[in-house]
Amino acid sequence: MGMPQDNVCKVISDDMAKSYSIISKDGGDIIVQPKHLGGCGSEESVLAFGDCCDNSGQVTPSRARARSLSDTCIALSCAIQEENAKLRGENKMLRREKKELVRVVLNLQQNPKSSLNELEKELVECKRSLERARRKCQESTLLYRDLERQYVMLKVQLAEAQSGEDDQKFIAQKKKVESLVLERELLALKQKFQNTRRSLTRGKWWKRSAGIVS
């Protein structure tokens, strides 16, 4: 039983939903992948949303919370990989700007008779473009670090949620065993009471107490 698409959309914010595609696969399970990357970098990183039900088909709070955290981790992981791709693009642009500056310097050296004012204007524009690219790169780096921090925190919360579910299962199993033990003790006491009552009814108890053997 796959997760409904509406529930998947709740995991991803409106802004992130613009960057990710939600498609169905393998019997209706919902998977999500970045639109611009065509996936999270590889087929292995395409993310499937599974069930959050126990063996009886009932949704447990711990599993629902763990699934929600897991889905959020998945979305953040894709976002982090997308930011990595953006950073690589910014680095390529910086290299292009550097080549442009080198070209301007070489042009100045090879053409001393060219208009110095035009060369200076071109150099200033290249420097401005380089500064803009650096600012964008810094912003992308800060965003990447923030997403990475959130991803780590969610992984810790997911581990805690799964641990809490294991504790609940242990407590439930312990209570079940205790209940069975109490039930057996109650049956034994009931049987003992019935045996004593039958003995009293037949008059055997006072004969044994008086030392009379029939």
Q: What is the pLDDT of residues 189-206, one digit of tens each?
A: 778 777 766 665 655 545
* pLDDT value at 81 more than 80: yes
**In-domain check, residue 177:** no
Q: What is the pLDDT of residue 3?
A: 41
* Residue 31 maps to a domain: yes
What does the alpha-carbon distance between residue 210 and residue 184 come to, in Å, rounded to a whole number? 34
CB distance 141 to 88 below 8 Å: no
How many domains, the chain?
1
Residue 132 lies in a domain: yes
The predicted pLDDT at position 11 comes to 40
Query: Residue 66: its pLDDT value, please?
Result: 76
- List of residues 6+ apart from 97 with CB closer than 8 A: 126, 129, 130, 133
CATH of the domain at 58: 1.20.120
Order of strands across the sheet with 47-49?
20-25, 29-34, 47-49
- Domain annotation covers residue 120: yes
Tokens of 87: 């950073």
Q: Identify the sign of the CA torsion 27, 33, 39, 40.
A: negative
pLDDT class of 23 with cuts at 50, 70, 90: very low
In a domain, 20, yes or no: yes
Is 65 domain-assigned? yes
Residue 178 lies in a domain: no
Whole domain around residue 14: which residue ranges?
A: 5-164
pLDDT tens digits for range 116-135: 777 777 778 878 888 888 88
- Does residue 158 form part of some domain? yes
Q: What's the average model confidence in pLDDT over 7-35?
A: 45
What pLDDT does 170 receive? 76
pLDDT of residue 31: 45
Per-residue confidence (pLDDT) for residue 24, from 0 to 100 = 42
- Is pTM beyond 0.85 here? no
Q: Write down the pLDDT at residue 57.
A: 52
Q: Give yes or no for residue 40 having a pLDDT over 50.
A: no
The average pLDDT across 8-19 equals 44
Mean pLDDT of 95-115: 75
- The pLDDT, as a whole number, for residue 211 is 53
Residue 90, pLDDT > 50, answer yes
